[in-house]
């Protein structure tokens, strides 16, 4: 099959969190078109089973293939952890997740070989960051912890708040005690808590935001496969957004964080795929 290099890139997440990844793609690959899907009818993914997340991911991938995307970015840590290996071989287009790019930069940058990971219960229990980090460098010690209240706190808008600081203090204490020098923000919502996490962890700990690393990985991959767009990025509607619920609420959130005016978000029934 010949892949159309000017086709859009498909990006999906359980909801709005993956927009932080889409944003980095817009910034770093401005010629690329994007079709984004947020599974707002079934969000969150982080507390659900591997089997269920694979089923949901397959449905979304079928939808994105119908949109004739040239590559897929799994912009959700839980779906990357649970589904990427399962679906990769089923596809004839490239697919990447957010785990490997984040882990790679953490492995490169840690000095004391002590790396922390925070994420959802699903992501942390999968152990995938640890597997990947130890493959890159067996000397690395990995400390991982689920932080289930972080997403609800972000969604409540308590980004700079004494409650959030107290919760972060409890969740992150272990990483301070363990003296990690690098902490992977292993959930797409967490970069929005960066300043609180910075306050707790101090200035000397490197905070890795996999969204940026994933955009760079996509750039490398498209180059390697000779799939970089030859477009100008000035086409009509370069970015299209689909969700499974609450399209207007999604659009408002997207407009608040994207360097782009989101005019249209369409709701689809993902269960039919």
Residues assigned a catalytic role: 76, 187
Q: What are phi and psi of 34, to 5 degrees?
A: -130, 135
- Binder of a copy of itself out of 91, 135, 163, 264 (CB under 8 A): 163
Site for a copy of itself (CB under 8 A): how many residues?
A: 25
Backbone angles phi, psi at 203, to 5 degrees: -75, -20
The footprint of a copy of itself on residues 48-77 (CB under 8 A) is 48-49, 51-52
Map residue 255 onto helix, strand or coil: helix
CB of 271 to a copy of itself, least distance (A): 5
Region of 136-144, 165-173, 175-183, 201-209 interacting with a copy of itself (CB under 8 A) = 165-173
Give φ, ψ of 240 to 5 degrees: -120, 140
Please list the helix, strand and coil fractions of the chain in percent, rounded to the nearest 5, in that order.
45, 15, 35
Closer residue to a copy of itself in complex, CB, 121/136: 121
41 near a copy of itself, judged by CB under 8 A = yes
Which one of 28-36, 135-143, 205-213, 240-248 is the stretch in contact with a copy of itself (CB under 8 A)?
240-248
Interacting residue with a copy of itself among 42, 70, 129, 189 (CB under 8 A): 42
The whole-angstrom separation of Cα 209 and Cα 259 is 18
In what helix (H) or strand (E) does residue 116 lie, and over which residues does it extend? strand 114-119
- Which listed range, 30-38, 63-71, 105-113, 241-249, lies at the site for a copy of itself (CB under 8 A)? 241-249
Question: Which of 241, 83, 252 is CA-nearest to residue 155?
Answer: 252
Residue closer to a copy of itself by CB (options 71, 124) is: 124
């Amino acid at each position: 099959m010949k892949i159309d290099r000017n086709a859009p890139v498909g990006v999906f997440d359980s909801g709005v969190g993956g927009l932080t990844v889409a944003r980095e793609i817009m910034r770093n690959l401005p010629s690329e078109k994007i079709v984004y899907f947020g599974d707002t009818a079934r969000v969150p993914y982080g507390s659900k089973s591997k089997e269920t997340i694979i089923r949901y991911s397959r449905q979304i991938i079928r939808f994105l293939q119908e949109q004739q995307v040239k590559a897929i970015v799994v912009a959700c840590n839980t779906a990357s952890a649970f589904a990427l290996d399962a679906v990769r071989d089923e596809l004839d287009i490239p697919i990447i997740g957010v785990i490997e790019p984040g882990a790679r930069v953490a492995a490169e940058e840690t000095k004391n070989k002590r790396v922390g990971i925070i994420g959802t219960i699903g992501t942390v229990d999968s152990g995938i960051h640890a597997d990947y980090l130890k493959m890159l460098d067996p000397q690395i010690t990995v400390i991982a912890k689920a932080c289930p209240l972080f997403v609800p706190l972000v969604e409540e808008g308590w980004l700079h708040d004494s409650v959030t600081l107290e919760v972060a203090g409890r969740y992150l204490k272990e990483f301070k005690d363990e003296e990690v020098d690098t902490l992977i923000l292993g959930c797409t919502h967490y970069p929005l808590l960066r300043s609180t996490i910075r306050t707790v962890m101090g200035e000397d700990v490197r905070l890795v935001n996999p969204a940026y690393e994933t955009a760079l990985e996509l750039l490398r991959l498209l180059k390697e496969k000779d799939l970089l767009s030859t477009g100008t990025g000035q086409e009509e509607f370069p970015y299209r957004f689909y969700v499974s619920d609450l399209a207007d609420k999604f659009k408002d959130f997207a407009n608040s964080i994207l360097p782009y005016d989101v005019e249209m978000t369409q709701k689809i029934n993902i269960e039919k795929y």
